[in-house]
Structure 1
Amino acid sequence: MKASTKAALISALVFPGLGHLVLRKGKRGLLFIVPAALAVFYLLRSVLQLVDQLMEEVNRGTLPLDPALILERVNAAGGDNFATNLASLVCIVCWVGAIADAIWLGRRNAK
């Protein structure tokens, strides 16, 4: 398997920027790893805060254990805001960019 293909697959299937480590371009890989990791941590923190809040309401008895009502509460929580949309966009851009860059670097190094 060519190095560019291997690097692109690692960046696509594991985490953006990790494929650059296969190509021995660690500093360049950090340009994808760091923003993607920060965005993933922000999204994960937001989701966990919402889950904690909903679990607290269920435990207190103020929110019945009904999937339809919980889904309504999740939709009403306002998770669709600028910060979460930006974090999602950063994840997508880093993922696609890391794949494309790994392919490009692998092909350039092969010449």
Structure 2
Amino acid sequence: MKQTTKVILLSLLVFPGIGHLVLKKYAIAIGFIASFAYLLLGLVKDIHDKTQQVIESMIRGEIPMQVSAIRQALIDHGALDNPNLTTIGYILLIIWVLAAFDAYRISNNSSNNITEQSS
């Protein structure tokens, strides 16, 4: 498998920044990994906190055990249809695509430089 394909697949399918580790671009890799992990953990924590509030309300009997009531409670608490969570999701997607594109760009430039030097 070509290195360009390998770094793109690692960046897209494993985690943003892993392709940069293969390319030995450690500073860029840490930047992508840290920014993505920070936002992802914040997103998961926020969703967990909001759903935990709904679960506690269900245990206290404030919310009936019906799907429609639970869904409405999740919407009311901001776990669903939350613009902030949607924005964070889009930012995560942008970071993921940028990491894959940048890994491709660096790998492609390295391949072109090697080809030019051997000619």
TM-score, normalised via structure 1 length:
0.90
2:36–2:95 CA contact under 8 A, matched in 1:
yes
Aligned counterparts of 1:106 and 1:95: Cα–Cα separation in 2: 17
1:35–1:90 CA contact under 8 A, matched in 2:
no
Aligned counterparts of 1:34 and 1:85: Cα–Cα separation in 2: 20
Bigger Rg, structure 1 or 2: 2
1:11–1:99 CA contact under 8 A, matched in 2:
yes
Aligned residue number for residue 41 of structure 1:
41
Aligned counterparts of 1:76 and 1:50: Cα–Cα separation in 2: 10
1:42–1:87 CA contact under 8 A, matched in 2:
no
Asked if residue 55 in structure 1 is aligned to residue 55 in structure 2, the reply is yes
Aligned residue number for residue 99 of structure 2:
98
Taking CA–CA contacts closer than 8 Å with sequence separation of 6 or more, which of the two structures ends up with the larger relative contact order?
A: 1
Aligned residue number for residue 14 of structure 1:
14
Aligned counterparts of 1:4 and 1:28: Cα–Cα separation in 2: 17
Gaps of 5+ in 1: none
TM-score, normalised via structure 2 length:
0.84
CA RMSD of the aligned region, Å? 1.3
Aligned-pair identity in percent equals 30
2:54–2:77 CA contact under 8 A, matched in 1:
no
Figure out how many residues of one structure are paired with residues of the other and give that number: 110
Gaps of 5+ in 2: 113-119
Aligned counterparts of 1:59 and 1:78: Cα–Cα separation in 2: 19
The one-character-per-residue Cα deviations of 1:40-74 (angstroms, maximum 9, x if unpaired) are: 01100011101211111111111111111111111
Aligned counterparts of 1:25 and 1:15: Cα–Cα separation in 2: 15
